[in-house]
Structure 1
Amino acid sequence: MTLFDAIVTPGFFTNGPVQTALLVGGGAAVISAAIGVFTVIRGQSFAGHALADVSSAGGSLAFLVGFAPLWGFLGIAALAAMALEAVGLRRARERDLATGVVFGAGLGLTALLLHFAIATRSSSGAAISVMFGSIFAIPSGVVLPALAVGAGGLILLGAIWRPLLLASLHPDLAAARGIRVPLVGLLHLLVLSLAVTLSAMTVGAILSTALLVGPAAAAVRLTRSAGQAVLLAAGLGLVACWGGILLAYDSYGWTPGRPWPVSFFIVSLIFALYLLSGLRRPARLREA
């Protein structure tokens, strides 16, 4: 038996749900890494966490009404992103307070919608799927729309890359150069909403912040430019996501009939990668 055979359980690459998980998870890892770098630079990790948890209300609504969770997550996340920017608060303390209020309201709505979903549709697994993900249960028909959402986010991010980077590192200078900083901030949050939509479907709304912030934070520690950070963060995110899927698939043989949750492995790998990044002296990010 080779090392590859010992690590990769037979049938892994030919399994339908695994193929879907690899594609959707890979898309989530890449878009989360790309926008996650800017989220870390801008100090808006809490906003990313809030958007992810607020999006759970959309996933809950999807279970209640009976439509695709992808559009539920995306719709509510985008609305929450616009609401956060519409508040128009510039100071960090005020932004955190407003984010906390939106965050609490979203979780409260999620609790209500999940209650109705369980009571009226007998969706006993809805809460676990929304909050902690169920990547092996994603229908294959969701792959193309999910990848389209991720691609759309990357295209929008590419279009605003330069002004967003300058506004993130030197907001006063960006304003002096005529960049509409509030508009750039709104577009950043909209791309962020696309990322948390896919990450929520991958590891669940509660844990999606790990996929958004973990690889990006590790990459920012280790690189000197935003471009390098995005590429490294995408690589780390893919390693964590695909590695977590592989470990979860292998776990079917560890405890027969009781596989371990994918989200646990993905988040654990992200945590380990972040800790390893701390072994090296942090680099100073520059505009490039």
Structure 2
Amino acid sequence: MVNAFRAGTIVAVMAATIGWFMVLRRQTFAGHTLSVVGFPGASGATLLGISAGLGYFVFCVGAALVIAALPRAGQHRQSEESALTGTLQAFLLACGYLFVALYKGFLNGVNALLFGSFLGITNSQVTLLFVVAIAALAGLAVIGRPLLFASIDPHFAAARRVPVRLLSVLFLILLGAATAEAAQITGALLVFALLVLPAATAQAITARPAASLPLAVAIALVVTWLGLLTAYYSPYPVGFYVSTFAFGTYCLVRFGRQLLDLTDCRPGGLLEEAG
């Protein structure tokens, strides 16, 4: 359980940080594809008798490179990119189920790959997660400022000679690494929740990067810790609880924003603002 909290903390910090840029850049579909790709990676590695974590990283980073190689220019190119990304997602998901059928292992192992498991995390796995997280966050820190500029206004950034294309490729590689990490806690099908929901919740609260990014990390930590505690006393997978707590937080924030918007639109509120 101690290792579960260590691994969960590492995964939450990395997923929330990189997920914040993913939401800002509107690349959630690419993030969802990478999360699905983690399943055939882990099941293929299990079939070959090697570490499932290695399968996560190889397939997620490899798929990120494929997505990064797709052309991006104009509305037609964006439509083509979405179609190719969806095709890649469907094919690799089918490969994952093929690997499971060939393995003929216990169904409980498949559930762990899909929905996550926090039991049996070793010290070496925690160390590997920590090394990958440090490397990914260090890389993100190097490209963070120009990446933020390119994410907000890519055309103006390109005019200022910012390497927008290179930054996009590097970010997708980091996103693939973050997806591979988080999938080992939440499972391949629910990793997307930890990547997008804390970041989307924080950006719904405030648009200031200096405030919303640390807030996204804090939300990810809280929902991950609560998910681990709840799963410890429950027979259900940890990924379900992490996703549920994250989704509930997002719904509460959106509902609160709606109430605030309605309050600001009242006649009394408008008169006070005018005064």
Q: TM-score, normalised by structure 2?
A: 0.89
Q: 1:139 Cα deviation (Å)?
A: 2.7
CA contact (8 A) 2:190 2:240 kept: no
Identity, % of aligned pairs? 35
Query: Structure 1 residue aligned with 2:94, among 104, 108, 115?
Result: 108
Sort the Cα spacing of 1:229 and 1:95 in 2 relative to 1 into closer, same or farther, 3 A: farther
- Whether 2:249 is the aligned partner of 1:273: answer yes
Q: Aligned pairs, how many?
A: 256
1:41-60 mapped onto 2 (5 Å cutoff): 41-60=24-43
Task: Give the Cα–Cα distance (whole angstroms) in 1 for the partners of residues 100 and 54 of structure 2.
Answer: 17
Task: Give the Cα–Cα distance (whole angstroms) in 2 for the partners of residues 94 and 168 of structure 1.
Answer: 21
Q: 1:34 Cα deviation (Å)?
A: 0.5
1:212-227 mapped onto 2 (5 Å cutoff): 212-227=195-210
CA contact (8 A) 1:70 1:146 kept: no
Alignment partner, residue 186 of structure 1: 169
Tell me, what secondary structure is at the counterpart of 1:279? helix
Alignment partner, residue 80 of structure 2: 94
Write out per-residue CA displacement over residues 29-55 of structure 1, whole angstroms, 9 at most, x where no aligned residue: 111111111111111111101001112
Query: Structure 2 residue aligned with 1:142, among 117, 125, 142?
Result: 125
Task: Give the Cα–Cα distance (whole angstroms) in 1 for the partners of residues 210 and 91 of structure 2.
Answer: 35
Q: 1:123 Cα deviation (Å)?
A: 4.1
Alignment partner, residue 10 of structure 2: 27
Q: Mind listing any 5+ residue stretches in structure 1 that lack a counterpart? A: 1-17, 252-258, 283-288
Q: 1:225 Cα deviation (Å)?
A: 2.1
CA contact (8 A) 2:43 2:113 kept: yes
Alignment partner, residue 230 of structure 2: 247
1:170 partner letter: D
Query: Structure 1 residue aligned with 2:145, among 137, 152, 162?
Result: 162
Q: TM-score, normalised by structure 1?
A: 0.85
Deviates more, 1:168-177 or 1:131-140: 131-140
- Whether 2:237 is the aligned partner of 1:264: answer no
Task: Give the Cα–Cα distance (whole angstroms) in 2 for the partners of residues 174 and 100 of structure 1.
Answer: 28
Task: Give the Cα–Cα distance (whole angstroms) in 2 for the partners of residues 228 and 31 of structure 1.
Answer: 17
CA contact (8 A) 1:55 1:76 kept: yes
Which one has the bigger helix percentage?
2
Deviates more, 1:242-251 or 1:132-141: 132-141
Tell me, what secondary structure is at the counterpart of 1:160? helix
Write out per-residue CA displacement over residues 226-266 of structure 1, whole angstroms, 9 at most, x where no aligned residue: 23222101100010001011111133xxxxxxx22211211
Q: Mind listing any 5+ residue stretches in structure 2 that lack a counterpart? A: 259-275
Write out per-residue CA displacement over residues 81-101 of structure 1, whole angstroms, 9 at most, x where no aligned residue: 000011123444333212111
Structure number, greater radius of gyration: 2
